């Protein structure tokens, strides 16, 4: 039985076509020579070793690195020569032995292992990040509250230890004044002595008036006139002494919270602590006041209901230190 010549011719043609389809190096070499590029120029531009370019052009698979790297070199080389990248890569893949080509497939040693791109892994990662941030914020808040509590307790202990001369003492806040007893003596023509006593309490004033009336009734007309003059002058002293000293009122409103320290004219520290966000503090004392505060940009201050403009005293670190005085219903800062 004779063999059909046509079948042998067909197998030979398919083999030749497969060889031509896998001749990727010749395609790249022809494109390089058409552009008059040398191997050295291509190597310098693409940063690919010269021996690798030579091995690619000669289809020398044994001298080429693993397929993963070679594919990247061929793609960059073809793009540089303006050749069809996909066609050249397809020709290379046909030339690569099957056992080498199979290495290009990703293999997982642990098939059930979750990928880092898995939605579940991303969700757990984000949850851990937010938990860490929440822990830091919570710890900072607790530290802030403890520090504020210590400062408040120290301030309260200092206020409780104030004496009666302090601005925060009940006597000073009520505006009453302590008066010492004075003795005024005048001599009459009959060499008689008339003594008038002044006191701070109402009961002392009543007893003093009774003694003065008894003394006046037993004296002469001239001594009675002198007694009336003495009584009039002493009454003026009592009225002037009982006039309460007017306190100035300073109000601080911290929109975003602020540290605050306030002194009055007597160098008495009226306040030294921090105000929470939205906190307000009203203080009374004698102007001029001396203030130092932090977070000054969001803090509003008024004295005797006069709003103050402290922008010129705010430093670059958002703190401010200044003096404020009030005269004739006008406030001045310096």
Last residue of one domain, picked from the residues 104, 122, 142: 104
Predicted confidence (pLDDT) per residue in 304-321, tens digit: 999 999 999 999 999 999
Percent of the chain whose pLDDT exceeds 70 = 61
Residues 303 and 225 in one domain: no
Percent of the chain whose pLDDT exceeds 90 = 48
* CA dihedral angle for residue 105, residue 106, residue 107, residue 112, rounded to 10 degrees: -140
Confidence of residue 285 (pLDDT cuts 50, 70, 90): very high
Per-residue pLDDT at 158 exceeds 50: yes
Spatial separation of the C-alpha atoms in residues 58 and 78, rounded to whole Å: 15
Per-residue pLDDT at 67 exceeds 80: yes
Across residues 2-28, what is the average pLDDT? 58
Residues 256 and 213 in one domain: no
Weakest mean pLDDT among 13-17, 132-136, 164-168: 164-168
- Asked whether the beta carbons of 295 and 259 are under 8 A apart, the reply is yes
Spatial separation of the C-alpha atoms in residues 71 and 89, rounded to whole Å: 7
Residues 228 and 297 in one domain: no
pLDDT of residue 312: 93
Per-residue pLDDT at 154 exceeds 90: no
Q: Per residue in 278-295, is it b (16+ CB within 10 Å) or e — as a string? A: eeebebbbebbbbbebbb
- Domain span at 283: 248-333
Spatial separation of the C-alpha atoms in residues 62 and 55, rounded to whole Å: 8
Residues 218 and 258 in one domain: no
Per-residue pLDDT at 327 exceeds 80: yes
pLDDT of residue 149: 78
119 lies in some domain: no
Residues 55 and 95 in one domain: yes
93 lies in some domain: yes
146 lies in some domain: no
Could you tell me the CATH number of the domain that includes residue 283? 2.60.40
pLDDT of residue 86: 94
How would you classify the pairing of strands 269-275 and 258-263?
antiparallel
Could you tell me the CATH number of the domain that includes residue 57? 1.10.260.40
Residues 48 and 95 in one domain: yes
Number of domains the chain is built from: 3
Per-residue pLDDT at 195 exceeds 80: no
270 lies in some domain: yes
* Cis peptide, bond prior to residue 289, ω within 30 of zero: no
Residues 81 and 100 in one domain: yes
More confident residue, 172 or 236: 236
Task: Tell the residue number behind the tokens 């009520």, with chain if given.
Answer: 174
Last residue of one domain, picked from the residues 66, 82, 104: 104
Residues 236 and 304 in one domain: no
Per-residue pLDDT at 65 exceeds 80: yes
292 lies in some domain: yes
Predicted confidence (pLDDT) per residue in 18-55, tens digit: 445 678 999 999 999 999 999 999 999 999 999 999 99
Burial of 89 (C-beta count, 10 Å sphere; 0-12/13-18/19+): middle
Residues 277 and 312 in one domain: yes
Phi and psi torsions of 89, nearest 5°: -65, -35
Six-digit token pair at 317?
A: 């670190």
32 lies in some domain: yes
Across residues 186-206, what is the average pLDDT? 41
123 lies in some domain: no
63 lies in some domain: yes
Predicted confidence (pLDDT) per residue in 117-137, tens digit: 678 888 898 999 999 999 998
Predicted confidence (pLDDT) per residue in 225-280, tens digit: 454 544 444 545 445 555 556 789 999 999 999 988 999 999 999 999 999 999 99
Average pLDDT of the residues of the chain: 74
Spatial separation of the C-alpha atoms in residues 166 and 170, rounded to whole Å: 9
Confidence of residue 98 (pLDDT cuts 50, 70, 90): low
Residues 225 and 263 in one domain: no
Residues 226 and 254 in one domain: no
Confidence of residue 185 (pLDDT cuts 50, 70, 90): very low
Using DSSP, state whether 292 is helix, strand or coil. strand
More confident residue, 113 or 328: 328
Distance of CA 308 to the CA centre of its chain: 25
Last residue of one domain, picked from the residues 85, 104, 123: 104
Residues 233 and 276 in one domain: no
């Amino acid at each position: 039985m004779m063999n059909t010549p046509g079948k042998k011719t067909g197998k030979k043609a398919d083999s030749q076509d497969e060889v031509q389809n896998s001749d990727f190096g010749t395609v790249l070499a022809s494109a390089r020579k058409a552009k008059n590029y040398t191997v050295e120029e291509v190597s310098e531009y693409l940063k690919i070793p010269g021996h690798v370019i030579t091995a690619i052009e000669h289809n020398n698979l044994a001298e080429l690195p693993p397929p993963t790297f070679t594919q990247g070199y061929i793609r960059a080389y073809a793009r540089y020569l303006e050749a069809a990248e996909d066609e050249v890569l397809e020709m290379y893949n046909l030339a690569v032995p099957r056992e080498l080509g199979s290495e290009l497939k990703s293999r997982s040693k642990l098939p059930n292992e979750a990928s880092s791109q898995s939605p579940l892994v991303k969700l757990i990662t984000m949850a851990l990040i937010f938990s860490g941030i929440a822990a830091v914020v919570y710890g900072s808040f607790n530290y802030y509250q403890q520090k504020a509590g210590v400062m408040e307790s120290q301030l309260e202990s200092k206020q409780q230890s104030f004496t009666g001369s302090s601005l925060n003492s009940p006597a000073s806040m009520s505006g009453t004044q302590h008066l010492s007893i004075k003795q005024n003596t005048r001599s009459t023509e009959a060499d008689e002595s008339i003594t008038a006593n002044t006191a701070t309490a109402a009961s002392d004033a009543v007893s003093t008036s009774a003694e003065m009336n008894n003394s006046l009734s037993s004296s002469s007309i001239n001594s009675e006139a002198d007694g009336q003059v003495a009584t009039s002058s002493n009454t003026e002293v009592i009225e002037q002494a009982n006039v309460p000293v007017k306190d100035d009122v300073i109000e601080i409103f911290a929109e975003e919270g602020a540290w605050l320290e306030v002194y009055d004219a007597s160098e008495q520290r009226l306040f030294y602590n921090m105000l929470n966000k939205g906190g307000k503090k009203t203080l009374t004392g004698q102007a001029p006041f001396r203030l130092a505060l932090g977070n000054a940009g969001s803090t509003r201050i008024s004295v005797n209901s006069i709003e103050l403009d402290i922008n010129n005293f705010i430093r670059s670190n958002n703190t401010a230190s200044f003096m404020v005085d009030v005269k004739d219903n006008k406030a001045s800062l310096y």
